[in-house]
Amino acid sequence: MTYKKTSPEIYKGRSSKEQLYLHEKLICLDFQEEIIKKSPKKTIVLLGYACDEGVKRNQGRTGTVSGPDAIRGALGKMPNHLSEGTRFLDVGTIGCLDGDLEATQTQLCHLVDQLLEKGVFPVLLGGGHDIAYGHFNGIKKHRGPQKAIGIINFDAHFDLRDTTNGNNSGTPFYQIAQDCKKEGSEFRYFCLGIRQDANDPVLYKTAEELQVHYLERHHFQMHYLEHVQLRLIQFIEDVDCLYVTVDLDGFSTAYAPGVSAPSAMGFSPDIVLECLKLIIDSRKLISIDFAEMNPAYDIDDRTAKLAASLIHFVIHRY
């Protein structure tokens, strides 16, 4: 695992004397040197996961290693509507050393646990979707295995591939399911935006065997909003807290061309925003990440801006 403090230079934008923009509000800290202190103030913390080893193992297009900073660059330019009492921090980025994905995920688990212990709201920036395994384990370490942690994944893919050929960006939720089985706990996973052209029959069979909740792309749209909301409410009611992960490759390439597995048949931001409203308003959201940002294939920073806009929405409604 490698660690790098975020340079404030990444966050650039218009200047004001009143913190009108997020780059003026945000403070970059060194996670290794400065322990975030508990505070009565609401605190939002960004943490980067610069790793595309999982994507490489999954035979995807590499480049997500540069994802966190691309999102930061787009986010910093955006207007700041956070209250004066809200702290907005960036605690740097961890990376993958010598292809050791497992060690990187373990370290991510520890960092997420530490952040949650301080009472902050973590927003993680990826990086491959293997971020989910380390992120979830950090939440579980903090909350304890007895708590019902619900996973909500906005994605075209189940990411339930088995680990016969090793862990990768397509295996995180299968790994979590196997851990739950060993612990005797329930695997609570809801995936929205699933497409038949992105998942083979074995993955559908695995999803059924693991009793995964899911909505396919043709039902995950504004026309079926009431049905989507009802399914979400039912899922949320049965858990103690929520971990949300947004895989940017679930969106149509019209919105997100800069991903490892692009598709023109993906979903739109509108339905995701409506779901995020409901999730945040439930007050059960504990942590969120944004995965598969690949600036090597982005067009006019379109995908980075989408991720940044989603984060902007989340941190202001949270």
Mind listing the pLDDT tens digit for each residue in 286-313?
999 999 999 999 999 999 999 999 999 9
Whether 2 contacts 94, CB under 8 Å? yes
Determine whether the annotation assigns residue 159 to a binding site: yes
Mind listing the pLDDT tens digit for each residue in 193-232?
999 999 999 999 999 999 999 999 999 999 999 999 999 9
Determine whether the annotation assigns residue 157 to a binding site: yes
| Rounded CA separation 190/188 (Å) | 7
Determine whether the annotation assigns residue 52 to a binding site: no
User: Which residues does 201 contact at the CB level (< 8 Å), separation at least 6?
Assistant: none
Annotated domain spans of the chain: 2-317
Which pLDDT score, from 0 to 100, does residue 35 have?
65
Global pTM reads 0.97
Determine whether the annotation assigns residue 135 to a binding site: no
Which pLDDT score, from 0 to 100, does residue 56 have?
95
Query: CATH topology for 2-317?
Result: Arginase; Chain A (3.40.800)
Which pLDDT score, from 0 to 100, does residue 40 have?
64
Tell me the chain's radius of gyration from C-alpha atoms.
18
Q: What is the mean pLDDT of the chain?
A: 96
Of the pLDDT bands very low, low, confident and very high (cuts 50, 70, 90), residue 179 is very high
Determine whether the annotation assigns residue 179 to a binding site: no
What b/e sequence results for 170-182 when a residue is b if at least 16 CB atoms lie within 10 Å of its CB, and e otherwise? bbbbbbbbebbee
Mind listing the pLDDT tens digit for each residue in 23-63?
999 999 998 776 677 766 799 999 999 999 999 999 999 99
**pLDDT value at 151 more than 90:** yes
C-alpha distances out from residue 75 to 46, 71, 79, 250, Å: 11, 6, 9, 20
Determine whether the annotation assigns residue 227 to a binding site: no
